[in-house]
Homo-oligomer: A and B are copies of this chain.
Amino acid sequence: MERLRRALEQASADAIIVSHLPNVRYLCGFSGSAGLLVVAGSQATFFTDSRYTIQSRSEVVGARVRIAKMGLLRAGGELLRSHRSLRRVAFSPIQITVAQKAALDAAVSRKVRWINDGGAIEKLRSIKDLGEIETIREAAELVSRTFERTRRIVCPGISELGLAAEIERDFKRQGAEGLSFETIVASGERSAWPHAHPTRKVIAKNELVVLDQGAILRGYCSDMTRTVFVGKAPPRVRGCYKAVQDALEAGKAAAKPGARAQDVDAAARNVLRRAGLARYFTHSTGHGVGLEIHESPRLGKGDQTVLTEGMVITVEPGIYIEGWGGIRIEDDIVVTARGARELTTAPRDLIEL
């Protein structure tokens, strides 16, 4: 909240209206599904609805809690209306809909100079403090431990959904509050779909299986992918796997303070280019991870964000060959003065089952 107040001062903003729930949680601790925060100078007011009366009282820190009897944006707008000294108000055009903005304007019902918040809170969030890094490390460690058990039950005859069920149960039994995303288990030709949902398809001998999984711990996400081969891998699988693994290591090696986000992508992509596989690498190399599974920065072409100590990102090169299969390997890392420190720890060498 203090860092946000300084950012607002620098932007000459009198107030900011925060509607994106992960931003609300980051600033005041509320973890429910309906909340709005208005920060104006030293005052902060949190609005929620009657479902969250008890929960907000127990969670919210650093803001007055108001239970709104009307829409939250209307309540926030009326607060702005009653404080005429608040003239320049920041908001996020990428998080507020056209209809919400109209509701806000109607509730404020006086001239306000709306300014783009420029992703101010996302920028604060992209650099994690030690407590956040420790939480993500624990979430990554949890996922790595689960993988050690998962690899023992991957075998011909288990379905993709059955395997996903075991992974997700293991997460919760270890205390995960939820999934960073629906677990991906994609086998055989389906492994060539980078975001395949698991199906009733049964895993067969001599198939690649891509396992992409993440658990949420105390609000923070982890995200790890491993690819295994059911049987003894033929030379083409070994060759492709090695190339992806080398790309992963090259990407991590490039993730140093001062480098740009796109440099990490270029480092990983160049390895696959030299292996003649670049055209099969159809997504960017990674993304920030924290309260949300996809955060700033994006490790892709054109993202000029300078990497800074404390950023937590994924590095996840992959190749997807239609009719053959796919391979992706993904680690979560924290950027430190000494370079990337891995938070996910499961083995990265090819596992043949």
Contacts and interface: CB of A to CB of B under 8 A. Distances in A.
- Each complex incorporates copies of this chain amounting to 2
A169 interface: yes
Given A177-B198, A192-B54, A195-B51, A102 B97 contact: no
A242 to B, nearest CB: 23
Contacts of A93: 97-99, 102
Nearest to A53: B282
A282 B99 contact: no
B165 A173 contact: yes
Contact of A55 (B54, B98, B100, B193): B193
A193 B192 CA distance: 43
A26 interface: no
Given A54-B193, A55-B195, A172 B162 contact: yes
A239 B194 CA distance: 53
A96 interface: yes
A161 interface: yes
B161 A172 contact: yes
Interface residues of A, number: 49
A169 to B, nearest CB: 4
A33 interface: yes
A94 interface: yes
Interface in A187-201: 192-200
A230 to B, nearest CB: 20
Contact of A97 (B94, B194, B199): B94
B282 A33 contact: no
A176 B198 CA distance: 10
A52 B168 contact: no
Interface string A169-182: 11111011111001
A304 interface: no
A289 to B, nearest CB: 16
A205 interface: no
A177 B196 CA distance: 11
A320 interface: yes
Contacts of A198: 172, 177
Contacts of A166: 169
A283 interface: yes
Interface in A43-93: 50-55, 93
A123 interface: no
A101 interface: yes
A161 B175 contact: yes
A96 B162 CA distance: 37
Interface in A178-231: 178-179, 182, 192-200
A95 interface: yes
Contact of A320 (B54, B100, B179): B54
Interface of A: 31-33, 50-55, 93-102, 161-162, 164-166, 168-173, 175-179, 182, 192-200, 282-283, 320, 322
Given A32-B195, A161-B173, A175-B200, 11 more contacts: A31-B197, A51-B283, A54-B322, A55-B193, A93-B99, A96-B98, A161-B177, A162-B172, A165-B170, A168-B168, A177-B198
